[in-house]
Amino acid sequence: MRVLFLGNSQIVSVGNLPELVRKLSASAPASTPRIESGAVTLGGATIQTVWEDERTRAELQHGRYDWVLCHEIVYSYGGNGARLREYGRKIFEAAQAQGTKLLSYASGDVEGARHTHESMYNDAAELARACGGRVAGGGMAWLKAWAKRPELDFHCPDRAHAGELGYYVNACVVFAALTDCSPVGLDACGLNASDAQFLQEIAWAQYLDDRKNEQ
């Protein structure tokens, strides 16, 4: 399975979402697709900026991808649903022409902006429904985890990006959305076994909610 990741530093910064997803797939049972990836990421970029980068269309036209993952810049930094819908649709139409499906991804926001997670997710789910694609609710998985373990820190020291735990649960959510397989029992990617299992279970619960919210 080939996946193109489009976005900004919420995709690749102190962590690497495509690489973590690849590691999860490599540790999955043999019946699970092995994931390879490409990426076009620009720090601080909106979905419009990513779409207008010539590399994006080149990858969509020639990369032979099964899925394209896209997302808007976090809402505390100026992201918004109208732009996500407009440029997400453009990405979808270019992807659809090549037989590529759309995964609409909503990451977690910066520290202190938990109130934006639901609106980012709802807009991403709306895009998925409009395009017959899928949604992956990374930020919503953070809220689920905090409800049970509020002490967990999903941010890195700059407090604007995901840290090790945040990137890991995001990767588990994306892996499940792409494969329809539970991440429970897969590679802990350097986390302790207890934290990894907890986040894997949270991600699978989010996967089940995501499928309902695509309808």
Whether 114 shows a pLDDT value over 90: the answer reads yes
**pTM over 0.95, yes/no:** yes
Q: What is the pLDDT of residue 8?
A: 97
pLDDT in tens, 142-186: 999 999 999 999 999 999 999 999 999 999 999 999 999 999 999
Q: Could you give the percent of the chain with pLDDT greater than 70?
A: 100
The per-residue DSSP string of the chain comes to: -EEEEEESTTTBSSSBHHHHHHHHHHTS-TTSPPPEEEEEE-TT--HHHHHHSHHHHHHHHHS--SEEEE-PPPGGGT--HHHHHHHHHHHHHHHHTTTPEEEEEE----TT-GGGHHHHHHHHHHHHHHHT-EEEEHHHHHHHHHHH-TT---B-TTSSSB-HHHHHHHHHHHHHHHHS---TTS--TTS-HHHHHHHHHHHHHHHHHHHHHT-
Class of the CATH-defined domain 2-213: alpha beta
